A and B are shown apart, each in its own frame.
Chain A
Amino acid sequence: MTDFRFAVNVLPKPGILDPQGRAVEGSLGHLGVSGVAGVRVGRRVELTVSADAETAARATVDHLAGELLSNPLIESFTVERIG
């Protein structure tokens, strides 16, 4: 068994209300920053999976990401290997 470390990045789907992203974007003027748009706020979850091969580990992460870490109605996710 090998340990594989992944990050799951969860974001609100395009078109879904993202009031946090909007609030962050609205605050940029207070910092004197302009020219920044399209702010989306999501969530990043890192986890280690023990498995025989990366494909098996990745399948576990995909399953968790779709069932628990994101709500497919409103969020999308990407999985990246980080160690």
Chain B
Amino acid sequence: MTRIGVVVFPGSNCDRDTLRGVELAGGEAVELWHEAGSLDGGAGVILPGGFAYGDYLRAGVIARFSPVMRAVAAFAAEGGLVLGICNGFQVLAEAGLVPGALLRNRGLRFLGRDVRIAPERLDTPFTRLIGARRPLRMPIAHGEGCYFADDATLDALERDGQVLFRYVRSDGGSTAETGDPANPNGSLRAIAGVMNDRGNVAGLMPHPERAGEAILGSDDGLPILRSFVEAAAQAERPDGRADLAAAAVR
């Protein structure tokens, strides 16, 4: 079974949900403490949601300098698959492993509610098993989720296919940039998730692991986790990473 590491920072609070989600998705979930110097043989790594190091200074910034993040950065540089969810996305952005920054929600309030998102691409390690299902309904729970990058970067992300998810209306229709309630935090271009240019590191603000089985009210998040586990299994095979990278980058 494919091993997927789930990093546990002091203040992570979605690590158990994520471990469970990985198992539902067919992977073997392994906890990785933030002081760990290695990824314990994981074929993929997930940075879960929460409030790593209390979100002091800026969300994600102190976690960025933890020992495990050195291992994550080295793994990513070798083409390893990394997914950051919510606070994990903030950590990846602070570490410069995905483009952009997450600002305070435009409405200033912490938001905990269901949103709808739609994938921009179905040919990535994070979206390959989503199929025709959309919009995807899953919760958000964050105070700093307003996606920001300068206009030139946003244009480049769209051109290069690095926008992974956008917030959409409940009927699946695209949303106005910042004022529409369907874009809960006012993210620029309604961006809910992005990838790096190599297509092996991604972050998103909504919580697929909290929508991983019907008893939670939605299992729309499961195909994202299943995509990740399947792609990680592929990456373990000889030349698997090279194939993934070739497929992911436009």
The verdict on A68 contacting B65 (CB below 8 Å), with A16-B103, A73-B101, A74-B103 known, is yes
CA distance A68 to B106 in the complex (A): 24
Q: Choose from A16, A17, A68, A73 the contact partner of B57 (Cβ within 8 Å).
A: A68
Interface mask (B93-107 → A, CB under 8 Å = 1, otherwise 0): 010000011011111
Does chain B have a CB within 8 A of A51? no
Asked if B104 contacts A74 (CB within 8 A), the reply is no
Q: Choose from A16, A23, A73 the contact partner of B108 (Cβ within 8 Å).
A: A23
Asked if B101 contacts A71 (CB within 8 A), the reply is yes
CA distance A17 to B101 in the complex (A): 12
Set of chain A residues within 8 Å of B94, measured between Cβ atoms: 71
Does chain A have a CB within 8 A of B186? yes
Q: Is the interface of A mostly helix, strand, loop or mixed?
A: mixed
Set of chain B residues within 8 Å of A43, measured between Cβ atoms: 57
CA distance A27 to B148 in the complex (A): 25
Query: Number of B interface residues, CB 8 Å?
Result: 17
Does chain A have a CB within 8 A of B146? yes
Does chain B have a CB within 8 A of A83? no
Set of chain A residues within 8 Å of B148, measured between Cβ atoms: 16-17, 73-74
Does chain B have a CB within 8 A of A20? yes
Q: Choose from B57, B101, B107 the contact partner of A69 (Cβ within 8 Å).
A: B57
CA distance A68 to B58 in the complex (A): 9
Does chain B have a CB within 8 A of A19? yes
Does chain A have a CB within 8 A of B249? no
Does chain A have a CB within 8 A of B30? no
- Chain A residue with Cβ nearest B99: A73
Set of chain A residues within 8 Å of B24, measured between Cβ atoms: none
Does chain A have a CB within 8 A of B233? no
Interface mask (B199-226 → A, CB under 8 Å = 1, otherwise 0): 0000000000000000000000000000
CA distance A19 to B103 in the complex (A): 9
CA distance A59 to B152 in the complex (A): 31
Does chain A have a CB within 8 A of B122? no
Instruction: Give the shortest distance, in Å, between B42 (CB) and chain A (any CB).
Output: 27
Interface mask (A54-81 → B, CB under 8 Å = 1, otherwise 0): 0000000000000011010110000000
CA distance A66 to B106 in the complex (A): 25
CA distance A69 to B61 in the complex (A): 9
Show the binding face of A for B, using Cβ within 8 Å.
Answer: 16-17, 19-20, 23, 43, 68-69, 71, 73-74
A17-B104, A71-B94, A73-B101 are known; give 9 further A-B pairs, CB within 8 A.
A16-B103, A17-B186, A19-B105, A19-B108, A20-B104, A20-B108, A23-B108, A43-B57, A68-B65
Show the binding face of B for A, using Cβ within 8 Å.
Answer: 57-58, 61, 65, 94, 100-101, 103-108, 146, 148-149, 186
Q: What are some 21 contacts across the A-B interface (CB < 8 A)?
A: A17-B104, A17-B106, A17-B146, A17-B186, A19-B104, A19-B106, A19-B108, A20-B104, A20-B108, A23-B108, A43-B57, A68-B57, A68-B65, A71-B58, A71-B61, A71-B94, A71-B101, A73-B149, A74-B101, A74-B103, A74-B148
The 6 closest A-B pairs by CB, nearest first: A73-B101, A19-B108, A74-B101, A19-B104, A17-B103, A23-B108
